[in-house]
Amino acid sequence: MGRRERSKQRVRDGLYTSALSLFAEQGYEGTTIDQIAERADVARGTFFNYFQRKEDIVLAWADKRRKRLVAAMEQIPQGPHDDVTVLLERCMSILADFNESERDVVPAILTAWVKSGRPIFEEPYTAEIFADIIEAGRKRGDVAPDVDPARVGNILRDAYLGHLYRWSQAPEAHPPLRMELREIVRIILAGSLSYARRGWTAPGTDASRAVPRS
């Protein structure tokens, strides 16, 4: 970037970090645009050159999360014996690290994110990442062939967000987030793994009730 672009990026970053620090200190609702501009040491009108409204800070935060998760997943080395459980647990560990590193601001951001309706209207990128892992596992035979990867991805996302909401209200009252998210993966995958791996018969066969073989 040229000097002008770098200068604009510094101002935007300053507004973004100032907003997050204020959200952590006094909550999303208790923070005004005037306060954000003052903390960033810019005029109030400068804020609107980069963000149309305060909610856009929340959207920028979510977008940064998405990009960080995609980049982190791409950098994970995959061994020949890494099954779907291992890959999903690694993904959940990355998400846990994100939230642990921002535990001061996560409660305020999540509250604003929910109030803005983003869990419903925003593209469910975490569900898509989960679904991609499930689909790859289905092709390898780790996951039962009749399992819908998109449905499992959405279930994992719903479980992740639900637990994150509870954790964010009292992080100190919960076991390490990484451990709890890994447990969620294992519970959900109990209904998704290949019938052959569990010694079950797939639906549509003579033993279609999927009762374990003796």
Give the pLDDT confidence of 152-198 residue by residue, as tens digits.
999 999 999 999 999 988 888 888 999 999 999 999 888 777 655 55
Closest C-alpha among 26, 34, 183, 39 to residue 111: 26
User: With left for phi above 0 and alpha for psi between -120 and 50, is residue 143 left, alpha or beta?
Assistant: beta
Q: Does domain 1-52 have CATH number 1.10.10.60?
A: yes
pLDDT of residue 205: 45
Structural domain boundaries in the chain: 1-52, 54-214
pLDDT in tens, 32-77: 999 999 999 999 999 999 999 999 999 999 999 999 999 998 887 7
DSSP letter, residue 193: B
Q: At what angle do helices 55-75 and 3-26 cross, to 10 degrees?
A: 110
pLDDT of residue 185: 92
CA atoms within 13 A on the CB side of 202: 13
CA atoms within 13 A on the CB side of 16: 16
Q: Is the pTM of this model over 0.75?
A: yes
Q: Which two tokens stand for residue 175?
A: 């076991």
Q: Does domain 54-214 have CATH number 1.10.357.10?
A: yes
pLDDT in tens, 12-24: 999 999 999 999 9
pLDDT of residue 207: 42
